[in-house]
Amino acid sequence: MASLTSRVATAANVNEDDGPPALFKAKLNNVRPLVNMLRAVGFRTRVLCTISETGLVFTVDEAQAMVAQSFFRSSLFSSFFFDASAAAAEDDQPEYVSEEGDSNNEIVTQVTLPLDKLIECLTLFYGPGSGGSSGSAHGISTSTLLGAANDLRGATTAELEYKGPGSDFELMLEENGIISACRLATFEPEPAVNLEFSRYPVVQQLIMRSDWLRDAFNELDPTSDAVSISISATEPYFRIATIGDNGSTEMTYARDERIVDAYFCNEEMENRYKLSLVLRCRSALAMSDKSKVRVNQRGFLCLQFMIPTNTDVSFVNYIFAPLVSADDEPADLQT
């Protein structure tokens, strides 16, 4: 069976061998897992895409105080090609931060893409009204949102191709014999803010079921400016609270093994974060089974969401800088 690219080339009467060879080329049997991982960080119009032999990382940031990263491994593709030597030949290998937040010396190429348009193209065959970028994740069950990611019936297949800086990002999609060729404008990669989470020791950690955390976020007062998160070695072990115009909300949780695994707390701390930024993670949270909450010594918060992908899992990280208030902490927050 001729590759999708050559069939489109035939249809468009174009010689596919024109131009430089591809720096990156990959195929997917089903676009759904990729769509989900993009929707998990889908709240901005531009995304930084980092391509390496390990796979793709999609990074968005906001207000210099929050970074979100979605990891899509090369093994999730049915075929994956990345010309590392050609990429290395480019000037300025960027400082690349990996899944665990460590600096990594892997050869990469980076490009900034229009995220909303990318998602709209990938969901071209989803049918009317299936929602574009964000897919409105709030309050929807995980299974509905993932849309039977393992179901290959009626699936859109895709070929992705990128020839390097200055080229468009190309997608060839196919479903039921209908082929769509999409070209996305690319931009100079804009580095995301590096919040250096891993540079400082993690002092607090817990892993909980995402449905619990989802309920907690649904209860928060959205008019409040800040949300405070505290983990303690004594009761209440985990506390999320807001104070807003409509009053205050507080959720506290016991160290109940049904809810919480892998808990440790080396240092008592309460930190506050901008609520509107924290709530950006709701799409990723909605799609995930488990969430890992970590706080480092400087009070930076990392939420890591584990999302089922095909028969495996993928991760999305959200890192938040704490609010440093000029005023003292309001007394009511310390119960």
Partner 1 sequence: MRFRTVVSNSNLFLRVVQSIDKLSKSAILKLTEDKLHIVVITDVDSGLQLWTDVLNDALFSEYRIDSAHGNEIYLEFSIDNLQRALKSAQGALHITLKLTKKQQLPVLSLIIKNQSSTGRELTLTQDVPVRVLTPLQMENIREPMVPDGHVHIMMPPMNSIRSVADRMKTMGDRVAVGANNCGEMRIRVANDLVDITTYFKGLENLNDDPTQSQALTGRRPNDSRSDTKRFFTAVVDMKNFIKFLQSYHVAPKNVICCIIENHALVFYVYIGSTGFGAGSGMINDNCGSLTYFIPIRQV
State the residues that interact with partner 1 by CB under 8 A. 8, 11-13, 114, 117, 120-121, 123-129, 132, 168, 176-185
Handedness of CA 8, 12, 16, 21 (dihedral sign): negative
Q: How far is the CB of 188 from partner 1 (least distance, A)?
A: 15
Q: How far is the CB of 171 from partner 1 (least distance, A)?
A: 9
Largest Cα–Cα separation, the chain: 72
* Minimum distance, C-beta of residue 72 to partner 1, in the bound complex (Å): 20
The span from the CA of 182 to the CA of 160, in Å, is 10
Burial profile 185-218: b = 16 or more Cβ within 10 angstroms, e = fewer: ebeebeebeebebbeeebbbbbbbbbbbbbebbe
Q: Looking at the chain, list the stretches that DSSP marks H as alpha helix, in order from N- to C-terminal side.
A: 4-11, 32-39, 84-88, 115-122, 142-146, 210-219, 275-278, 282-287
The Cα-based distances of 169 to 80, 162, 231, 256, 288 in angstroms read 15, 5, 44, 48, 28
Q: What one-character-per-residue DSSP string does 209-222 give?
A: EHHHHHHHHHHS-T
- Based on CB atoms, which residue is closest to partner 1, 2 or 324? 2
Contacts of 332 (CB under 8 A, 6+ apart): 243, 248
50 vs 67: CA distance, rounded Å:
14
As a dihedral over the C-alpha atoms of residue 50, residue 51, residue 54, residue 60, rounded to 10 degrees, the angle is 20
Beta carbon of residue 23, minimum distance to partner 1 (angstroms, whole number): 20
Extract the tokens encoding 117. 């348009």
Least distance (Å) between residue 184 CB and partner 1:
5
Q: Would you say 9 or 301 has its CB closer to partner 1? A: 9
What order of strands is seen across the sheet that includes strand 269-274?
247-253, 238-244, 226-231, 269-274
Residue 25, both tokens: 């080329």
Residue (of 330, 329, 327, 287) closest to 308 by Cα position:
287
Least distance in angstroms from the C-beta of 134 to partner 1: 14
* Shortest distance, position 179 Cβ to partner 1, whole Å: 5
In the complex, the smallest distance separating the C-beta of residue 29 from partner 1, rounded to whole angstroms, is 20
